[in-house]
Amino acid sequence: MTIRWCTSLFSAAWLMSSPVALAQPTAAPNTPPAAVSAPSFNATVQVRADRPGPVINRNIYGSFAEHLGRGVYEGIWVGESSPIPNTRGMRNDVIAALRKVKLPVLRWPGGCFADEYHWRDGIGPRDKRLRRANTSWGGLETNAFGLHEFMDFADLIGAEPYVSVNVGSGTPREMMEWLEYMTSNTESALAQLRRANGRKQPWKVKFVGIGNEAWGCGGNMRPEYYADEYKRYAAFVKQYGDESFVKIAVGPSDQDYNWTEVVMKQAAKQIDGLSLHYYTLPTGNWKAKGSATQFDESEWRSTFVRTLRMDTFITKHSAIMNKYDPEKRVALIVDEWGTWYDSEPGKGALYQQNTLRDGLVAALNLNLFNQHADRVKMAASAQTINVLQAMILTDQAKMVLTPTYHVFEMYNVHHDATLLPLEIQAPRYGAGADALPSLHGSASRDARGALHVSLVNLDPQRAAKLTLSLQGRGAKSVTARVLTAPTINALNDFQRATVEPKPLEGKVADGRVSVTLPSKSVTVLTIE
């Protein structure tokens, strides 16, 4: 048996599982999952409480809202005169949900849209704002939701704003003026304009993205060219308020290691954060990505195989960054991640439903970000509402929280906690190239000293009989919450919520925890 002092992959050939049958029969909504008929497997987890690692930056739990489909319009903005209950035009149900999940940071306005966005279009009296074609995603951009509305929304949900500025079709001057408008407390014309538009105090804005996907929709640039452009723009990111900006450079897509190499080599000194974008496509084929809701066990598994590539990408990009930034000053910022399926026609660009499978994808990615907390300091799920792997879906006045949302809520115990290494011994799930660890996890200790262990059981049939021990301290009590459902494609729609966290029973004896993790589940244990 191979034992690794890391929380990612582990192997135990003698425990290889045999192929299993597909989903269990559907149960009535809101009932606990049906009793597991397939045999369970045994697993052990050891938490190294004696080997604390880095702090898990809460900003790893961020999200991304782009002017795309029904993400901003309807998802956030309904207007002050809407019958949908709202605060200054922004829907109250969404505000309450994002407050509850403790979303720490929100990226805006794109995405590809950022490189066609001109911030002055979105300030001043709303009825006078320019309407423009949204050439990235279709439809008309009314600019009703502009800078002041975004800042108000970020404030209402308690998130820090992360603004992506236009490099592709903008200028350093436009960027400079935007930054000054937002953060200057002087009598300058731009600060006065902000005041005239209703905002007396400057906003606190820390995170500035210099362009988006410059290798693609942001300008089809070579890394050499972008690195030069980045340095030019970065030179004009001046400080107007109390704090200097955190400057985030466009980083690679998935395995484009050359991009990281070139940009870090040429510009590491001027960069505070380097972005990484990686989307999970179940098929790996952009022309037929796979359905959000109709999939079999083989696509269930390939989705996780592809999600776990994130580990390799982070590891390899970090290794390149280490060459140019051994002190780890430059953060890796995974500011677009999530599942991308074939979108549902007629529901807005990039709209897709969200099943239990997405909940598990979110949990795997968040476990990985926790594990790489030494380099990954911020991330943003794509996207927040009604777009791609959304946390929230709306249908006019109706709103539903997705399995992805619930995982973010369950995992918020890791915010700013100290990472603890985890050793997992469990059988593999599946065989051959598609074989996966059946259990995947991460652990942390919060400021009170409580331990939080988040564990994903990827096996769709077999529960895990888990014994968990702690190195360096004992366990006195355990509480647990689990997210699971009767079928692999269970989802929450506007009629019923089938996938919601529920309490799970665990026991403590002789300082060790025993708990049975249901098949296809995400569990978070809190151990005192």
Binding site for ligand AHR (CB under 6 A): 66, 110-112, 212-213, 336, 382-383, 388
Q: Which is nearer to ligand AHR, 211 or 430 (CB)?
A: 211
If residue 395 lies in a helix (H) or strand (E), which one and from where to where? strand 392-395
Least distance from ligand AHR to the Cβ atom of residue 76, Å: 16
Q: Which is nearer to ligand AHR, 249 or 475 (CB)?
A: 249
For residues 171, 175, 181, 185, the Cα torsion angle rounded to the nearest 10 degrees is -120
Least distance from ligand AHR to the Cβ atom of residue 266, Å: 22
Where do we find the tokens 């009793």? 35
Q: Which is nearer to ligand AHR, 263 or 373 (CB)?
A: 263
How far is 54 from 318, CA to CA, in rounded Å?
A: 15
Catalytic residue among 116, 160, 213, 423: 213
Q: How many CB atoms lie within 10 A of CB 20?
A: 14
Q: Which is nearer to ligand AHR, 110 or 486 (CB)?
A: 110
- CB-based burial, 391-414: b 16+ in 10 Å, e otherwise: bbbbeeeebbbbbbbbbbbbbbbb
Q: Which is nearer to ligand AHR, 212 or 418 (CB)?
A: 212
Least distance from ligand AHR to the Cβ atom of residue 225, Å: 18
Least distance from ligand AHR to the Cβ atom of residue 110, Å: 5
Torsion over CA: 502, 508, 512, 518 (sign): negative
Tell me which residue of 385, 374, 381 sits closest to 407, measured CA to CA. 381
How far is 400 from 380, CA to CA, in rounded Å?
A: 20
Collapsing DSSP to helix, strand or coil, 180 comes out as helix
Q: Which is nearer to ligand AHR, 256 or 500 (CB)?
A: 256
Least distance from ligand AHR to the Cβ atom of residue 486, Å: 31
How far is 300 from 295, CA to CA, in rounded Å?
A: 7
How far is 378 from 497, CA to CA, in rounded Å?
A: 30
Please provide residue 44's backbone torsions phi and psi, each rounded to the nearest 5 degrees: -125, 145
Q: Would residue 327 show up in a list of annotated catalytic residues for this protein?
A: no
How far is 377 from 334, CA to CA, in rounded Å?
A: 9
Count Cβ atoms within 10 A of the Cβ of residue 96 and give its class: 0-12 exposed, 13-18 middle, 19 or more buried. Answer: middle
Collapsing DSSP to helix, strand or coil, 133 comes out as strand
If residue 409 lies in a helix (H) or strand (E), which one and from where to where? helix 403-411
- CB-based burial, 451-465: b 16+ in 10 Å, e otherwise: bbbbbbbbbbbbbbe
Least distance from ligand AHR to the Cβ atom of residue 372, Å: 21
CA distances (Å), origin 312, targets 1, 127, 306, 357, 431: 22, 49, 11, 21, 20
Tell me which residue of 163, 162, 151 sits closest to 60, measured CA to CA. 162
Q: Which is nearer to ligand AHR, 272 or 336 (CB)?
A: 336
Least distance from ligand AHR to the Cβ atom of residue 218, Å: 8
Least distance from ligand AHR to the Cβ atom of residue 38, Å: 37
CA 307 to chain centre: 12
Q: Which is nearer to ligand AHR, 108 or 245 (CB)?
A: 108
Catalytic residue among 66, 149, 336, 423: 336
Task: Show which residues are catalytic.
Answer: 213, 336
